A and B are shown apart, each in its own frame.
Chain A
């Protein structure tokens, strides 16, 4: 395993990527939102942007999946002081389906809408 001290200057995704790929499975994701915020301030190249989109998709898919019943409460505690467009501070709203979908990038919007539609379908099934 390459454990040479990671260099976030040459690999700015490293912390967020590690947390998403190796922490999300077990919902051990300390600092995930802060790591994502740091990337919002970074000038990324096209390959990094593509990878970031993929990682973001994993996060939104996991958080909005109604079958994931073990999403930690602290991850769903939103920070209202942060801009709504920085969706990673508003995972609670995303989970609840209260987040304004139009603020999400298209690739996340699709996941969010699918999840909301799934919730709605469930609610309709229960009520009928």
Chain B
């Protein structure tokens, strides 16, 4: 792994810091298509729950949906997981980014490619946009994630070149 922070690594540090500071998951707009079909199919059995119905209505109206609420509702209702509040996802996202042993994988050349951070301890993958937006958080086996780039503790400790 690289011993000093080059410009690319500095951008990664900035994005991770932003991700920690802002807790911004952005919004999603659903247009007609497979993603909308799938999401509505997933939520269909739970539409009698006001929280889900509200989300589904917004999706159907083509308005921006809070991405954190969407992920929370999928975990809580579709996956029947023990998640009680959207902030639970924030908590675990921060556990991953805060895990000094977590690995940051080298992003693709595409300037829009995202940063992948994997915590073996939690077996969770956190996905961060270049601008620091929180993109996703999910359980992963840690395989096929690409080229390991930095151990987070080293990345934070290493001085800028």
B residues 17-46 near A (Cβ < 8 Å) are 28, 31-35, 37-39, 42
Question: Which residues of chain A (16-73) have a CB below 8 Å from chain B?
Answer: 17-19, 21-26, 28, 30-31, 34-35, 58, 61-62, 64-65, 67-68
Assess A65 versus B34: contact at CB under 8 Å? Given A2-B81, A6-B123, A25-B28: yes
1/0 per position for B52-63, CB-CB distance to A under 8 A? 000000000000
The answer on a CB contact under 8 Å between A28 and B34 is no
Instruction: For the complex formed, measure the closest distance between the CB of A80 and the CB atoms of chain B, giving whole angstroms.
Output: 19
Once the chains are docked, how many angstroms separate the CA of A2 from the CA of B124? 11
Residue B10 is within 8 A (CB to CB) of chain A in the complex: no
A21 and B33 alpha carbons, distance in the complex (Å): 16
CB pair B81–A22 under 8 Å, yes or no, is no
Contact A34 B143 (CB under 8 A): yes
Known: A58-B38, A68-B35. A22 touches B145 (CB 8 A): no
B116 at the binding interface (Cβ < 8 Å): yes
> Is A122 an interface residue when CB atoms closer than 8 A count as contact?
no
Q: Tell me if B88 counts as interface (CB < 8 A to partner A).
A: yes
A31 near B140: Cβ-Cβ < 8 Å: yes
Q: Is the C-beta of A3 less than 8 angstroms from some C-beta in chain B? A: yes
- A120 CB to nearest B CB, Å: 18
- Which B residues are in CB contact (< 8 Å) with A61? 34, 37-38
**Which residues of chain B are within 8 angstroms of A3 by Cβ–Cβ distance?**
92, 95, 122-124, 139
Residue A15, interface by CB 8 Å:
yes
Interface size on B, residues (CB 8 A): 41
Interface residues of B in 63-104 (CB under 8 A from A): 71, 74-75, 78-79, 81-83, 88-89, 91-92, 95
Given known A-B contacts A5-B123, A34-B144, A61-B37, A26 and B135 have beta carbons under 8 A apart: yes
Interface contact A1-B75, CB-CB below 8 Å: yes
Of the four ranges (under 10, 10 to 19, 20 to 34, 35 or more), the interface on chain A belongs to 20 to 34
Please give, as numbers and ranges, the residues of chain A lying within 8 Å of B124 by CB-CB distance. Answer: 3
Of the A-B pairs whose beta carbons lie under 8 Å apart in the complex, a sample of 10, sorted by A's number, is A1-B75, A1-B81, A21-B42, A22-B71, A24-B35, A25-B136, A31-B141, A35-B141, A62-B34, A65-B35
Residues of A in contact with B (beta carbons under 8 Å apart): 1-3, 5-6, 8, 14-15, 17-19, 21-26, 28, 30-31, 34-35, 58, 61-62, 64-65, 67-68
Binding site for A on B (CB under 8 A): 28, 31-35, 37-39, 42, 71, 74-75, 78-79, 81-83, 88-89, 91-92, 95, 114, 116, 122-125, 127, 135-141, 143-146
